[in-house]
Chains A and B, each alone.
Chain A
Amino acid sequence: QLQLQESGPGLVKPSETLSLTCTVSGGSISRSSYYWGWIRQSPGKGLEWIGSIYYSGNTYYNPSLKSRVTISVDTSKEQFSLKLSSVTAADTAVYYCARDIGGSPPGPFDLWGRGTLVTVSS
């Protein structure tokens, strides 16, 4: 049974970089035609797609965040990662990793991690 699990700091200071990793277990990132995505959920903005990556490294980002986002993949570790730079309080949210069966454009997302709350505060 494929599972996804987010990990990373729950507290990030303003202007710093948020870094999260998603570990895929029970399956392989590279042995499929799926993309792997990041979605966040905040009370103010609801569900927001951040970006998606293919095992080859091909990426698609939400234009509203593109200047601050980097998504990368490490197939040897069955992980993909999110970096969001220059964070502000508006980036406080629950961050989910998910399997993206579309790619470009992204969605639907058929498997999700449990999510991790990231708070931006000094």
Chain B
Amino acid sequence: DIVMTQSPDSLAVSLGERATINCKSSQSVLYSSNNKNYLAWYQQKPGQPPKVLIYWASTRESGVPDRFSGSGSGTDFTLTISSLQAEDVAVYYCQQYYSSPSSFGQGTKLEIK
């Protein structure tokens, strides 16, 4: 099974500043035949289900603000929030869907400094 490890576990960033969350997979999630990384990012606010922000490592879901971006390939990925807003306080998860069973990272809690 692929293990997903996020860093840091928690992060405090000032409003308007950049937030960066990392995700590392125990094996590559890049499918060579289509050159796609099978990696998604989710945002979960208290009392709510996760909401998908990004899939294929860098494709934003419809309606997601463009301050959210995803990057990386193979085993190392990053979610960046370019200018943190108060409504971005949440726990963020990465997920690999390259192989079954699909697996999630342990989550990164993002707070306002």
Give A60 to B106 CA distance when docked, in angstroms.
23
Q: Which residue of B lies closest to A66 (CB)?
A: B101
Complex partner residue of A96 from B38, B49, B52, B95, CB under 8 angstroms: B49
Q: Which residues of B contact A115 (CB under 8 A)?
A: 49
* B9 CB to nearest A CB, Å: 12
A108 and B97: CB pair below 8 A?
Answer: yes
A107 and B102: CB pair below 8 A?
Answer: yes
Q: Which residues of B contact A46 (CB under 8 A)?
A: 93, 104-107
Indicate if B45 sits at the interface (CB-CB under 8 A).
no
Q: Which residue of A lies closest to B62 (CB)?
A: A110
Q: Which residues of A contact B52 (CB under 8 A)?
A: 108-110
Give A115 to B45 CA distance when docked, in angstroms.
13
Interface size class of B (residues with CB under 8 A): 20 to 34
Give A114 to B46 CA distance when docked, in angstroms.
11
Give A105 to B29 CA distance when docked, in angstroms.
12
* A47 CB to nearest B CB, Å: 4
Please name 18 further chain A to chain B contacts, defined as beta carbons within 8 Å, in addition to the given A62-B100, A98-B49, A106-B97, sorted by A numbering: A46-B104, A47-B93, A47-B104, A49-B102, A62-B101, A96-B50, A102-B97, A104-B100, A105-B101, A105-B102, A107-B38, A107-B96, A108-B55, A108-B95, A108-B97, A110-B61, A114-B49, A115-B49
Name B residues whose Cβ lies closer than 8 Å to a Cβ of A. 38, 40, 48-52, 55, 61, 93, 95-107
B49 and A49: CB pair below 8 A?
Answer: no
Name A residues whose Cβ lies closer than 8 Å to a Cβ of B. 46-49, 60, 62-64, 96, 98, 102, 104-110, 112-115
Task: Known contacts A46-B106, A47-B93; decide if A109 and B50 are in contact (CB<8 Å).
Answer: yes
B107 and A107: CB pair below 8 A?
Answer: no
Give A77 to B38 CA distance when docked, in angstroms.
33
Give A62 to B101 CA distance when docked, in angstroms.
5
B61 and A49: CB pair below 8 A?
Answer: no
Complex partner residue of B100 from A47, A60, A110, A112, CB under 8 angstroms: A60
Give A46 to B93 CA distance when docked, in angstroms.
10
